Amino acid sequence: MISHDLHALGFDAPDLDTLVNSVAEAGAVGVEDVGGFDLLAAFTDPSGARLALMKQKGHDEMETMASLVAPTTHPADLVRFSSAVALVDIYSHASLASILTGDSVLKLPTANRKHLARFLANVDDPVEIPLCPEPGDDTPRFVENLRVGAVANQMLRVFESEDDYGRSHEGSLGSELQFAAGTLISPWLMEINAGRATRREASAVAEMTMVCKRVERRTNALTGVDWYRIVGDTSIPMTLAVPADLPRAPHEGSVVTGQVVPVVSTGTWEGDALWG
């Protein structure tokens, strides 16, 4: 049985070895011996679903990562805690300052950016991000247009509207207190901050509540299996992959909630050249 995150992208197969062989034959691209990896590769399906393949130096097993081509991008600082898990700080896009230069007005980005969100995420092109496994040596990389998405890691719950979510047991504490629909929380980040976990132990698994703004049913061309690509709002706009066999179909205005894995990409796999 394939894992739920791969199923959320339509990457269904009898087992993981069969899937890896299929994407290799279908044209996965990558490089060997780069940035602490014996192999770093990815297959991007025409539907926008992506499977990243990683083999760390000194490890025998091939690791897989469910990812996707996310149209939602944000300015961000990133520090990598382990082979593929990074701390992500999201900022607002820079506002513009006007400077009078002769007869024209030059528009320049201001230095001040508003911090919008912080969470842990898997990075599908991790060698682009500096590895800082211990506190004190953090050297973040700034990415102007970081692709930001998430993949369902369990069967998500779907509410018809924000009002329905607010009236639910999950979205309220009695009749007086309702929780806003639109959150992303990294439990492992809280564990690290409390000193109960190390950076190397951290997982990117998060709890999400998203308000759907656009819902598209897509077909994974490799497998023929459908999945939903949702663009919506959490604490920030982002893109979410969920399986097409949800008990209730998501739609514009609905709320989806549950466990996900945030995944980000600097855009390497959309580029024309890889490392080296």
- Cα–Cα distance, 120 to 193 (Å, whole number): 12
| Residue 35, pLDDT score | 87
Mean pLDDT of 133-161: 93
| Predicted structure pTM score | 0.89
Segment 180-206, tens digit of pLDDT: 678 999 999 999 999 999 999 999 999
Output the average pLDDT for the chain.
Answer: 89
Domain assignments of the chain as residue spans, ordered by start: 72-270
Contacts (Cβ under 8 Å, ≥6 apart) of 91: 74, 75, 76, 77, 113, 114, 115, 116
Segment 51-63, tens digit of pLDDT: 999 999 988 888 9
Mean pLDDT of 249-257: 96
With 80 as the cut, is the pLDDT of residue 271 above it?
no
Q: Quickly state the pLDDT bin for 97 (edges 50, 70, 90).
A: low
Mean pLDDT of 11-33: 94
Mean pLDDT of 81-110: 71
Question: Are 146 and 236 in contact, with CB atoms under 8 Å apart?
Answer: no
Report percent pLDDT > 70 for the chain.
88
Strand, helix or coil for residue 253:
coil
Strand, helix or coil for residue 216:
strand
Segment 64-91, tens digit of pLDDT: 999 999 999 999 999 999 999 999 999 9
| Residue 202, pLDDT score | 93
With 70 as the cut, is the pLDDT of residue 108 above it?
no
Pure H helices in the chain: 4-7, 16-26, 162-167, 187-193
Q: Quickly state the pLDDT bin for 110 (edges 50, 70, 90).
A: very low
